[in-house]
Chains A and B, each alone.
Chain A
Amino acid sequence: MSAAIVLAGNPNSGKTTLFNELTGARQHVGNYPGVTVEKKQGTCPTESGKLTIVDLPGTYSLTAYSLEEVVARDFLVDENPSMVVDIVDASNLERNLYLTVQFMEMGLPVTIALNMMDVADKRRIKIDIEKLSKLLDVPVVPTIARKGKGKKELLTTISSHVENKIKPLNISYGRDIDTALDKMEEMIELSGFLTAKYRARWVAIKYFENDSQITELGKKADQKIASDLERVVEKVTDHLSATLDTHPEGMIADHRYGFINSILKQGVISYAQDRNRQQISDKIDRVVTNQFLGPIIMVAIIMGLYKFTFSYSEIPIGWFESFFGWMGGVADSALSDGLLKSLVISGIIDGVGGVLGFVPLIMFMFLGIAFLEDSGYLARMAFMLDRVFRMFGLHGSSVIAFIVSGGIAGGCAVPGVMAARTLKSPKERLATLLTVPFMNCGAKLPVFALLVAAFFSENEATVMLLITLISWVGALLVARLLRSTIIKGEATPFVMELPPYRLPTIKGILIHTWERTWQYIQKAGTVILGVSIILWAMMTFPGLDQTKIQEFENQRSVITSGVSSQILDELETIQGDQLSANALTVKESLTQVDFDEAHAGLKNSIAGRIGSSLEGITKFAGFDWRTNIALVGGFAAKEVVVSTLGTAYSMGEVDPEEITSLSDKLKAADGWGPLTAFSLILFTIFYAPCFVTVVCIAKEAGSWKWAGFSVVFNTALAFGVSVLFYQIGSIVL
């Protein structure tokens, strides 16, 4: 037997834990076609062969409102799985069965894994499993997924029931609707309306539920039948609203819960205590979401997550850096000078290093977030912060993405963008994705540090604080703007479960973290390497022409011609700091020629030409061609702004961590002053995210359109802000 089975169930029912238990490391994560919803698939060895298992997104219902629900439903209809294993939280039976009932109405073969039996026991909830199975007419297997209990029994049950014939469930929805359903079912069956895929009565129910996906399919399939059905629904709707002041959607939900209740009441479940009484989780919540203590604890946890992500990842990032530094060194000595060497070192090794350099960050961030999410705290954070973020069209859960991106200066937008995955509401999620790059990531800090040291050295702390404030206010205002224009729409309802606090399983957290990290390496990695090579080419080609190169050679000859051969030998053989004073002077002159040549090469490169040609516009913001090139370079990574400014000022590549000489140079340079500096700071806060972030936005938003938007819109916004500031500043000062 190698039939596919699916795992389905409510969020927080232990579905993923069971999936991990069944498949172990034999899983594969992808996306459902065309959407960003994760699709997990794995295999599980059984006595009768290998079983393919698909983990459907967790949902509470099967309407067509949320993306997860549409995806789950389409998968069930299109793939026709041989068994739907419905994970039902035994401690929360009534609500979980609401989904079960909907699977059965679709006519799908269902096996219930009655999970969290231990939690139910602890709450002194007694469930008569045999009776439940008999009344629902589906197999029910008790499990405790966290401890791997019931796994074997579940697999045996699945394989013995896979071939069984299914009798779809028909629930009574009250006389009015039932009569109409009978009639519609007949109409649908006679005309074969959508019946290739769907069960006739189910289609009729969906018409009553006003399910947009089905009604649209219906219109396309057969206009006439579709409008006939709509008329029947309309008549009943009018009747219900006139006689009972209700509508079919409400009636259907009421009767579904009524059906479940009628089963549970036949002695299936008994509570030894009031089920709404305070649980341990509620007592924790009294403290953790308390009006005063709640925010304090939240700040502490956010700081903790931040520290965990960025401090602990430093060590492995250091390993990566030294490894790629070493690789660069090897390539440097193995290859002869020239284009190939430059490509290998600056294009490929730096590119791969750039991709992998983020890996420790992403891993640590997801470790932290997985812990917060699985423990149940993330939902509390969303609960507490919703009021604030909602004002800007965002969601309480947006906070994590903002903080990780650099809401506390020094984060990184790459893991920040990926952190937006915890948001389940699509519009709020997109707005979050597009605004988190405004935060002050660790790569922007050297740029700020350079400019602040050069021009605002008396008020360093104040200006840095001001920068943080500007980026927060800017990001939130832009979010508000986006949510009232291109991502317009009602706030997604905040009807959200606060799951009981649980200690996350190590296995679950590790699998979760590894999946996300691997996805980043796989998907973003290739694109990032490609863009890195393109950027290298832009900063390198077309290079200097022969006569220019000759000029620099001549300058070198002039310097060396007057020097004794003894000193030349010294330059060849002895390391820098042991040179004699004379040799040192010669070496410095030679290095200056190298810097001048790099400067000339950069100015002549594609990036340089773009920078020069834009000078006409950017002068309104106070930027000359040197700044422009540096900003183009900053698209690779923001700290490159600093090193490129160094080259553009003929100082060679400046190490972003040693900026004193460059800041002195800027202070003295033409056209620079506090006004230009702050204008550049503003531009750096708001302009296009670095391309690694852009690639991640494309992957997370599911379309390159939004990635392109963030590049164009952010740059335009940054330019607008800088020009406004510079022009007003020029008048006032």
Chain B
Amino acid sequence: MKKMNLRQMQVDQTGTITFVKADGELGRRIRDMGLIPGKEIKVQGRAPLKDPVSLRIMGFTLTLRNNEADHIEVEVK
């Protein structure tokens, strides 16, 4: 078990969200889409310019910019 930032995750790596730092509008949007502690995510891919990142959560695909992903801490196996 290793803790890291969502930005540092590799494509196809899975992990569990442990902490979401963002507040305000970004925080609300992130949480509304289900990015909350305890949820399992899998990094699906990155855009050709390496940003944004797409990830899979609760069975659907979500995109986030890297600087938005910075607010999310993940525990990976």
Contact = CB atoms under 8 A, between A and B. Distances in A.
Interface of A: 60-61, 63, 65, 91-92, 94-95, 98, 123, 209, 247, 249-250, 253-254, 257, 275-276, 281-282, 285-286, 289-292, 294-295, 379, 383-384, 386-388, 390, 490-491, 493-500
Nearest to B54: A498
Contacts of A295: 48
A494 B31 contact: no
A496 B56 contact: no
A639 B34 CA distance: 52
Contacts of B30: 493, 495
Contacts of A249: 23, 27-28, 31
A169 B39 CA distance: 24
B34 A95 contact: yes
Contacts, number: 126
A286 B29 CA distance: 26
A61 B28 contact: yes
B52 A497 contact: no
Contact of A494 (B23, B36, B63): B63
Contacts of A65: 25, 28-29
A246 to B, nearest CB: 9
Contact of A63 (B32, B42, B62): B32
Nearest to B35: A495
Listed from nearest, the 7 A-B pairs whose CB atoms lie closest are A253-B31, A275-B59, A61-B32, A387-B49, A498-B61, A495-B29, A494-B65
A125 to B, nearest CB: 8
B40 A276 contact: yes
A495 B33 contact: yes
A282 to B, nearest CB: 6
B60 A95 contact: yes
B20 interface: yes
Contacts of B68: 493-495
A282 B44 CA distance: 8
Contacts of A95: 33-34, 58, 60
Interface of B: 14, 20, 23, 25-40, 42, 44-45, 47-52, 54, 56-65, 68
Contact of B62 (A123, A247, A496, A500): A496
15 contacts: A92-B58, A94-B34, A209-B28, A249-B31, A250-B36, A285-B44, A285-B54, A289-B48, A295-B48, A383-B52, A387-B51, A493-B25, A493-B65, A493-B68, A498-B61
Contacts of A209: 28
Contacts of A247: 23
Contact of B60 (A92, A253, A490, A491): A92
Given A61-B32, A495-B68, A281 B61 contact: yes
Nearest to A64: B28
Nearest to B41: A276
B30 to A, nearest CB: 6
Contacts of A493: 25-26, 29-30, 65, 68
A384 B47 contact: yes
Contacts of B57: 276
Given A253-B32, A494-B68, A275 B58 contact: yes
Q: Which of B20, B30, B34, B68 counts the most chain A CB atoms within 10 A?
A: B34
Nearest to B33: A495
Given A289-B47, A295-B48, 12 more contacts: A61-B32, A94-B34, A275-B59, A285-B44, A292-B48, A294-B47, A387-B52, A490-B25, A493-B25, A493-B29, A494-B68, A495-B63
> Residue among A94, A292, A388 with the most chain B CB within 10 A?
A94
A291 B65 CA distance: 17
B36 A386 contact: no
Contacts of A257: 34, 36, 39
